[in-house]
Amino acid sequence: MQRIGIMLHQHKSERLETARRLIALIHAGGAQALLPAELAQTLGRGELGLEDELFRRQAQCVIVLGGDGALLSTARFLATVNVPILGVNMGYLGFMTEIEVGDLEFAVARLIRDEFTLEERMMLTAMARRNGQEQGGFLALNDVVITHRNFTRMVRLKAQVAGQTVGTYRADGLIVATPTGSTAYSLSAGGPILHPGLSAIVLTPICPHSLQARSLVIGPEEEVKVLVTAPSEVLLTVDGQIGCELGQGDEVMIRRAEHATRLIKLKGRSFYEILRTRLDDDYTTPHERG
């Protein structure tokens, strides 16, 4: 890798200083650092800045400084160009990130020498429709969530898979997750944990007012349709970050995306090791330990 992009989700002072250090490491290794134009201006390195589309085309890989939220937004940003991502944990959990800040020198050297493996993660695409007209389309690495705007109220939703009704829910909402997202909101709502290398889709109702409602794992090529069946102020949220409003009669069509997220792996840790440590109640990140 000779052209290495750098992205931040939030321009916090700690992350900006780490970005400056990362630029120096990349250049010292004989490679070129690339930055989105706004970040380049913030760092006073305008000569390294590129507009979004050019950044996507020029970067051979992207290092993301932040937590899982930063990685999720970067995954959507880069999905259409299949640029590999290396997550550097500067958050509090960092379940999807690969390394900590102390590993940067090691990581840059490995990237420049092309000494890494890639792991593909399936994504979802969601399309909202009102009266047959498309209202907006979204990509998700973790999940698509449909909830009431007021979290103290329930919604009424009907879910269909491949044209067949699989559940009519009076609940706080419904989560449609990828295997990657199975360890996020879906897990908190009682859903199953799936290995991220699997191809599948998980439907998990949120606090359903029913004794029968359970999570459902379906095939990756099956399309999910969710219909809002009662007057409500409903929100469609993608990866907990973006989305749109829904109303009675609106539909959301969710299916496997044609694009996937490619994560760079350097340490050879298994999913089960990460699961055991990061979801342990006593686990603390280096950031939390100071």
Whichever domain contains 81, its CATH number is 3.40.50.10330
Residue 289's pLDDT is what?
46
* pLDDT class of 149 with cuts at 50, 70, 90: confident
Residue 11's pLDDT is what?
80
**Do residue 107 and residue 54 come from a single domain?**
yes
Mean pLDDT value across residues 51-78: 95
Catalytic residue among 52, 68, 280, 282: 68
CA 165 to centroid of chain Cα atoms: 28
Mean pLDDT value across residues 62-75: 94
From the number of C-beta atoms within 10 Å of its C-beta (0-12, 13-18, 19+), residue 100 rates as middle
**Do residue 128 and residue 152 come from a single domain?**
yes
Q: Which domain holds residue 37?
A: 3-116+266-289
**Do residue 234 and residue 137 come from a single domain?**
yes
**Do residue 108 and residue 172 come from a single domain?**
no
Of 205, 201, 227, the closest CA to residue 215 belongs to 205
**Do residue 211 and residue 104 come from a single domain?**
no
Residue 180's pLDDT is what?
96
The maximal CA–CA distance of the chain, rounded, in angstroms, is 61
Residue 217's pLDDT is what?
97
pLDDT in tens, 209-261: 887 789 999 999 999 999 999 877 899 999 999 988 898 899 999 999 999 99
Q: Does 280 qualify as catalytic in the annotation?
A: no
d(CA 240, CA 194): 19
